[in-house]
Structures are given as structure tokens and as C-alpha cells.
Chains A and B, each alone.
Chain A
Amino acid sequence: MSNAPFDMIISGGRVIDPALGFGKDAHVLIKDGRIAGIENDIQKLGDSTGATVIDASGMLVVPGLIDVHVHLREPGREDEETVESGCRAAAAGGFTAVCCMPNTTPRIDNQETVLFVQDRAKNADARVYVVGAITKGSEGKELSEIGDLVKVGAVAITDDGRWVENSEIMRRAMEYSKMFNIPVMDHAEESTLCAGGIMNESFESTRLGLRGRPAVAEEIAVMRDIALCRTTGARLHIQHLSTRRAVDVVRAAKAEGIRVTTEACPHHFVLTDEAIAKEFNTCLRVNPPLRTANDREAIIEGLIDGTIDCIASDHAPHAEEEKDCEFDLAPAGMIGLETTLGLVKTYLIDKGYLTWADAIAKMTINPARVFGLPGGTLKTGSPADITIIDPDAPWTVDKKRFRSMSHNSPFIGWKLQGQVFRTILGGRVVFAREE
């Protein structure tokens, strides 16, 4: 055993912690898997014999990123992703914690499945927080045993992939969730308006002859659920916000003091439905669909003014053969854990929409607060979950380098700025960039 006071020192980087409200050049000290302190002055470090020193000169040192919307596909589709591979991808993307969605096979609507996922995650490269289903089988008919789910660690509930159509059931879910103080995550798309829809309803769907999913479907769903949230006083978290009007509705609700939070995905602030074009790239089939330029601008405005609290990837792995088909037969979703940070840097920070501190807040302390998670900060005593970012490193998204088992990304071949240098989970390096 070493007598060193610290296990690890991350030296010379610019430390940004929105939770503590600073960005400064300092050294981060780690002991026993926890943050032991942040020192400006190297002289104050004392004896560092035996400590691992990571030279972070020119890098940003931030709390480990948290992604609140991830599909790990296990149990049921271990050919697409497992808890282990998903967490490897998370670490490669700078995420030290993920919230996994319950639309697995079987659904995560009971204690056993929560425990199964947690067991799989024991030695994984990221912390996994399980989100349970609102209704049994996510069929929208009967509430899951939410108390049981929470008892073993579920941090929220959602029927992600489906909107809870029945207003009475959604109302009861919100009321019931209040007993546990967990957010109800909402896949907000009024389903009858979207039935059979393949992409956003716009001139692009007209041009391509594909059935549309209209933006108004999201607006209606958001309006109803905010109304229920107002009535019940529950906590509502709207997932993957994608339309201008939905952003407007949330903005007004927040101004009114309703307990609603939101997230946006990189593909909704980077891409528009025009990207589908004549190539019909099935990786661009997502749900909710890519919207118009006007909607994309609204998402960015929402990120800027705080209407949108979190940036989440909606990492949705699909087997290659499932996406290698006709556009309307492909399942919806793209992977995102490993591209989110680069897209945030290139399309939000470099464009001047967000500062690093703003962006980091939306991927650290905001998600931690919404879902009541540990971490999200470098405060002394917190778990030593840290992401070191090389802020200006250019890189090209390379299919061969994905840690995810699936490769369904439309960003393959894109040149991005901002790359993960190291990801540290509880004081252990779980990802190191290959030089």
C-alpha cells in the first residue's frame, strides 16, 4: 500500500463545474474513488508519491457526463447492445452514468428486471440507473408496480417509445409517482396523428412520398401532459423535445412554475428532415422524427434560454441487418453515446450558442438534479466520476472505432471537434483515447 495521500491527480487542466459555479485552472485530487479536493496551487498538494498523475494540460476537466436517455437493449436484444457494451460506449463518449429505458424484451416493468439490469451493470464502465415502465408492458392500460420499481432503485418511469394515450392512466401515474418523488418521463407524441408515419410531416415527406408524423402531435401531447402535471403537481420530464411549438408550451409552463423539465437530442439540434433526401438513409429514421430548420432553431433557442434542461443522446442501437432495408421498414433510432459530445462542441459551442459551462451543466448537474442521481459535480466527497475533454481536437466519426455493438449512426464520416481524452469512473480510468 502506498502512503500517498491521493490515488490520482488530474493536473493542469481547466476545471469546469457548473454545480460549483466555476471554471478555473486547477488540479483535481482523487482518493478512494471520491473527489478529495480541487487545488489551484500545486504546492498545496503535499505528498503525491505513488499517485497516478494524469496530465490534463490544455484539457477541460468536468464532472462525468450523465445521459438520461439511453437504450441498452438488454434483456432481449443482446445482439444490438448489452449493458456492458452500452456502458463501454458511454465511457468512450465521456458519460459516466446513463439512465436506461425500459422498452426491452421483456419490459422493465417489475423488480426482477430492474435487478437483472443492475446486476449486469455491476462491473460496467458506467453507472446504470434503471428507468421503469409507467404501465405494465408499456401497454398503457394498467400501472406498473411503481413502488416496487422504486424500491429496488428505479429512478424514474416512462413508456418510452409510446405515449400513454389514456389520460386517466397518465393522471394516475403522475399522482402515484409523487409518493416517490420521481419524474414521469414522457414520450410525447399523440399517437393517432402519427399512425403509420415514417418521418416529419412537411414538404420533405410530401416530396419523398412518405407518410408524415406532424409536429402538432408532439404539441398536443406536451400540452395534455403539462395540464396533467399542473393538476397533479407531479414532476414531468419531457423526452426528446423536437418541435418549436412544444418548446413554446414548455417555456410557458416553466414560467408558470409547473414542475416540468425537458431534454433534447443532438440529432434534433444538428439535423433536419431535409437530410433524408433521395438517399433515404435509414439511420435518419428516428422517433420523434427529424424536424424542419425552424424546429431545429427552436430547440437551440430552448437550450440557450434554459427551457431545455438536459442534452440526452436517445442512444438507440439497432442491428445492421435491421437498418439495411427499405426506409419505411427500418426501426426508428440512431446510436448517440459516442457522438454527442463532439456534436455539442461542434454545433452548439463552436457556433456560439452555448458556453462550455452551459453545455456541461446540461449533461451533468441538470440531469443529476432532475433524476436525483449522485454525481454531476466535482464537489469534495462526490464520486470521482470525471470526464477529461480535449476541447479542440478534431476527429472523424469512424464506424470501426465505435464501442457500441451497433453502428447505426448517420454521423459516420463527419468531422467533429472536441474529443474525450479520459473518462474516469469512481477513480478508475474506464476510457483512454488512443493516441
Chain B
Amino acid sequence: MSKLASRHLLGLEGVSADDISLILDTTHTFREVLDRPIKKLPTLRGLTVLNLFYEPSTRTRISFELAEKRLSADTVSFTTATSSVKKGESLRDTVQNIEAMKIDMIVVRHSSAGTPYYLTQCSDANVINAGDGSHEHPTQALLDMYTIRKKYGKLAGLRVVLVGDVKHSRVIRSNIWGLKALGASVALCGPSTLLPAEVERYGCDIYTSLDEALDGADVVNIMRLQLERQQAGLFPSQREYTNLFGITRERLKRLNKNYTIMHPGPMNRGVEISSEVADGDSSVILDQVTNGQAVRMAVLYLLSGPEAEGPQA
């Protein structure tokens, strides 16, 4: 029996506040483990985790791999560049072949939205979404939420602004569901061409003026601008984007005191965020990376079933 309502983590939409809180509380325990001299636990000993990365990823893939190894899981990693996918094998066949080698959990990154759900139909393993197209990236949102909660001791009542390419960002989508479930006030800000259809139905405040969005905010989470969006004609130039939506020290004056700057990485310095802000005292960008590992350890642990030993072991 899973400790969470679902035996998979496919996204944060529909996940209850209780389950999210449980993940964040468990993260806290694992976060402390990461500060120990020996950062290894026997928690997932005997379990095998498949890291299925159909899309390039550095930090998420390494973060999951390290989290798995630190919990003593056996891991196997898969990237499309060196796999039979290049020979035209379907995702179902690929996964079922690997599963035949007896795996317990799958961490999947894929450019197609919905792939993690599809995998639950192909496999008996527990599935964790490590990013699917523009749909969701739940562990990134959880680590963002954990980082905020660690600093403020709460999420409820905080005003969080998510800035950037709202249309294509899976990080933003997961953040919206998670933050709202725990009572934060969420604002979205970006060029109107990068705001998706009927975005107001999320129940967030929507801004196309960065200065207005930042007014009275506690946290600014800045998303990476994908430069191919300019080629697709969604904004006129990188220069104009930076002028309108780039976070600079000057703009931070509008935020509340004790504000926080976040970025899921990788950053385009000088485009969506100035180096001064990225490296400033209020930036928690590297903390996010460390916390990400603890969140992933917590999720792996909570989804791994009753046989796994707890973090205290």
C-alpha cells in the first residue's frame, strides 16, 4: 500500500493538500540526511529504478539518480541517444522489455504530454513524472514549494509570482496546482503571446506588466525563456523580452521585504534574470537544487511501498 493516495506521481493536478504536505514533511527528514557526512540510507535496498529520459536533461536526471543511489536503490538509466528507440521501437515495447528485467519504479522524462500516464498502462511499476512536454513537472514544483516553506515556514498567504513562458512551462503548471492547494496566492506574468488559452481559469492573477505583477509579492519564480519561441514568432526579440520581463535589481524594489528569487534552471543570464539578481542574497537558486534531491528521495520513498525502510533506518 502506498503512503500516498496514488502509487504514481504523474502530476500535481488533483493531488490533495494532505499528500503534498506529507511529501514536504518527508522531504524535511531527507534534507537533513544530505547534511550528514555519510549521505546514504538503505531505504530502497533491493528495489530497482529505471530512469527513462527521452528528452535531454542534466539536473533532473542527476538529481533523481543521486536520490536513488543515496537510498540504495539499484538504478539503470536510459537515454534515447543510445537506445533501440533510434531503431524505431515503440515506447510500450521498450518499457515492457526493460520491465521484463524486473524493475520496480520508473522515472520518466518525455517531450510528449501524458507519457507518464501512458506508462502506467504499459507497466506495473510505480511511475514518477520527471517532466512531460508542456504538461507537468511535479518534483520541480515540490522542490520549489519545499524551498519556499523552508524559508517562510508556510506557503499559505504568500504571494508567489511565476514569470515567463506560461504557455509552454510544465514547471509553472505544476507550481500552480501545488501552490494553490496549499493556500498560496499565485500570479502569472508573461507576454500575452506566451499566456495560454483561457489561462484565467486557473484562478490566478494574470499580468502582462512585470512591475504590476511584482507589486507586493513575496516570491518570484523565474522561468527560462526558450529562444526558439522567438523564431516561432511569439515575441519580437530577446532584447525586447529582457526589457519587458527580465528581472533586474531595479525591479525588485516592488517586492515585499524578505523576498525570494527562484529559478528552476538552466538560466539564461542577462535574458530573463540578471546575474546580480541570480547571485544576490535573496536568491535560493542553488538551495532549490539541493532541496530537489531531498524531494526526490521523499517521493521515491513514499511511492516505494511498505517494504521500504524509513529514513531513520
Contact with B along A267-292 (1 / 0, CB 8 A): 00000000000111000000000000
- 11 other A-B residue contacts (CB within 8 Å) besides A202-B198, A210-B135, A328-B112: A203-B199, A206-B201, A209-B113, A278-B13, A280-B117, A324-B92, A325-B118, A326-B91, A326-B114, A327-B114, A328-B113
| Beta-carbon contact of B197 and A203 below 8 Å | yes
Chain A CB within 8 A of B218 CB: no
B197 lies within 8 A of A202 (CB): yes
> Given the complex of chains A and B, what is the CA–CA distance between A206 and B14 in angstroms?
16
User: Hey, which chain B residues are within 8 Å of A324, CB to CB?
Assistant: 90, 92
Taking A325-B90, A326-B110, A328-B112 as contacts, is the C-beta distance between A206 and B10 under 8 angstroms?
no
Contact surface of A with B, Cβ cutoff 8 Å = 201-203, 205-212, 214, 278-280, 321, 324-329
5 A-B pairs (CB sep. < 8 Å): A202-B198, A208-B135, A209-B135, A212-B196, A278-B10
Partner of A209, one of B90, B117, B170, B199: B170
Q: How far is the CB of A386 from chain B (nearest CB, A)?
A: 42
A208/B197 in contact, CB under 8 A: no
Complex CA–CA separation, A278 to B91 (angstroms): 18
- Counting CB contacts under 8 A, is B60 at the interface? no
Which residues in B have their C-beta under 8 angstroms from that of A201? Answer: 197
**Residue of B115, B132, B134, B198 touching A203 (CB-CB under 8 A):** B198
Within 8 A of A (CB), among B95-135: 110, 112-115, 117-118, 132-135
Interface of B toward A, CB cutoff 8 Å: 10-11, 13-14, 90-92, 110, 112-115, 117-118, 132-136, 167-168, 170, 173, 196-199, 201-202
Q: How many angstroms from the CA of A212 to the CA of B167 in the assembled complex? A: 11
A325 touches B133 (CB 8 A): no
B164 CB, nearest partner CB in chain A, Å: 15
Contacts of A207 in B (CB 8 A): 13, 173
CB distance B198 to A280 under 8 Å? no
Q: Once bound together, how far apart are the Cα atoms of A99 and B92, in whole Å?
A: 35
Q: A280-B118, A325-B90 are in contact. Are A208 and B198 (CB under 8 A)?
A: no
Interface pair B114/A280, CB less than 8 Å apart: yes
The answer to whether residues A206 and B197 also contact, given A324-B90, A326-B91, A326-B118 and a CB cut-off of 8 A, is yes
A209 contact set on B, CB distance < 8 A = 113, 132-136, 168, 170, 173
Instruction: Evaluate contact between A278 and B117: CB separation under 8 angstroms.
Output: yes
Task: Please tell me if the beta carbons of B198 and A329 are within 8 angstroms of each other in the complex.
Answer: no
Q: Which residues of A contact B113 (CB under 8 A)?
A: 208-210, 280, 327-328
Contact (Cβ within 8 A) B133 A210: yes
Q: Which chain B residues lie closer than 8 Å to A202 at the CB level? A: 197-198
Q: Do the beta carbons of B91 and A325 come within 8 Å of each other? A: yes
Contacts of B170 in A (CB 8 A): 209
**Contact residue among B91, B132, B199 (Cβ-Cβ distance under 8 Å from A206):** B199
Closest 7 interchain pairs by CB?
A280-B114, A209-B134, A209-B135, A326-B112, A203-B198, A206-B196, A203-B201
Q: What separation, in Å, do the CA atoms of A132 and B236 have in the docked complex?
A: 43
Contact check, A279 vs B117: say whether CB atoms are below 8 A apart.
yes
Instruction: Give chain A residues whose Cβ lies under 8 Å from the Cβ of B199.
Output: 203, 206
Q: Chain B residues near A327 (CB, 8 Å)? A: 112-114, 118
**Set of chain B residues within 8 Å of A212, measured between Cβ atoms:** 196-197
Complex CA gap A214/B11 in Å reads 25
CA separation between A207 and B115, bound complex, in Å?
15
Q: Which residues of A contact B10 (CB under 8 A)?
A: 278
Contacts of B112 in A (CB 8 A): 326-329
**Alpha-carbon separation in the docked complex, A201 to B196 (Å):** 9
Q: What residues of chain A lie closer than 8 Å to B118, measured between beta carbons? A: 280, 325-327
Give the complex CA separation of A329 and B133 in angstroms: 12
Chain B residues lying within 8 Å of A206, measured Cβ to Cβ, are 167, 196-199, 201-202
Q: Whole-angstrom distance from the CB of B96 to the nearest CB of chain A? A: 11
With both beta carbons as reference points, the residue of chain A lying nearest to B172 in the complex is identified as A209
Query: For the complex, what is the distance from the CA of A276 to the CA of B147, rounded to whole Å?
Result: 33
Chain A residue with Cβ nearest B166: A206
Q: Are A321 and B90 in contact (CB under 8 A)?
A: yes
Among A205, A279, A329, which residue has its beta carbon within 8 angstroms of that of B197? A205
Cβ of B201: which chain A residues have Cβ within 8 Å of it?
203, 206
* Known contacts A207-B13, A212-B197; A328 and B133 CB within 8 A of each other: yes
Query: Given A325-B92, A327-B112, A210–B198 Cβ distance below 8 Å?
Result: no
In the bound complex, what is the Cα–Cα distance between A211 and B132 (angstroms)?
13
Chain B residue at minimal CB-CB distance from A324: B92
Q: Smallest Cβ distance from B62 to chain A, in angstroms?
A: 24
Q: How far is B89's CA from A324's CA once the two chains are assembled, in angstroms?
A: 12
Q: How far is the CA of A283 from the CA of B197 in the complex (A)?
A: 23
Distance A327 CA – B134 CA, assembled complex (angstroms): 13
Most buried by B among A206, A209, A329: A209
Cross-chain contact B115 with A278 (CB below 8 angstroms): no
User: What separation, in Å, do the CA atoms of A203 and B202 have in the docked complex?
Assistant: 9
Instruction: Tell me the bound Cα distance from A329 to B199 in angstroms.
Output: 25
CA distance A279 to B92 in the complex (A): 16
In the assembly, what is the distance between CA of A313 and CA of B110, in Å? 33
Q: Which of B110, B132, B196 has the most CB of A within 10 A?
A: B196
Q: Give Cα A321 to B114, complex, Å.
A: 17
Residue of B with least CB distance to A201:
B197
Q: How far is the CB of B191 from chain A (nearest CB, A)?
A: 16
Say whether A326 contacts B134, CB under 8 Å. no
CA distance A255 to B113 in the complex (A): 43
- A279 CB to nearest B CB, Å: 6
A204 CB, min distance to chain B CBs, angstroms: 9
Q: Give the one of B110, B113, B133, B167 with max A CB within 10 A.
A: B113
Within the complex, the shortest CB–CB distance from B166 to chain A, in Å, comes to: 9
> Least Cβ distance of B247 to chain A in Å?
24
In the complex the two chains form, what is the Cα distance from A71 to B174 in whole Å? 40
A206 to B206, CA, bound (A): 14
Give the complex CA separation of A327 and B91 in angstroms.
12
Q: How far is the CB of A429 from chain B (nearest CB, A)?
A: 40
Alpha-carbon distance A201/B198, docked complex (angstroms): 9
B134 touches A210 (CB 8 A): yes
For the complex formed, measure the closest distance between the CB of A20 and the CB atoms of chain B, giving whole angstroms: 48
Nearest-CB residue, chain A, relative to B197: A201
